[in-house]
Structure 1
Amino acid sequence: MRGVEFRSAWKKRIKAKYGDIDVFFISLEDLIKNKKALGRDRDLLDVKYLEKIKKAKEKKRRKFI
């Protein structure tokens, strides 16, 4: 994975359920790093959207603290 080391990403993974199966996803932070490192036009467009999501999540988190 470009821009992200697997061990680091695995420690920050997101766990979810799909039926009875545990599934894992890369963290939002690491996904942004990966897409920036790839640098393709589509990935850079994704980064803009993902950073908006990250800011919204941080804003929401601050409301509850």
Structure 2
Amino acid sequence: MYRVLRGEMVKADISIRDLALEIGITERSLRNKINGVTAFTWNEVLEIRRIVSPATSLEELFKAS
């Protein structure tokens, strides 16, 4: 699970549904990725950081916990 990502989404007031729409995947797919069931693509990682928290490093934002 990506707790830092979830926390940054809350800070930015971005729901899973909204973020999924923004990056072009289904809500279920994004939930699976955040929960570690499936992997993010590199393009998804870059887009998510741009949308959610551009100032946060990729290493910190996507640190698995």
The TM-score by the shorter chain falls in which range? 0.3 to 0.5
Larger RCO, structures 1/2 (Cα 8 Å, 6+ apart): 2
Q: Which has a greater percent of strand?
A: 1
TM-score (norm 2): 0.33
Q: Computing the radius of gyration over CA atoms, which structure comes out larger, 1 or 2?
A: 1
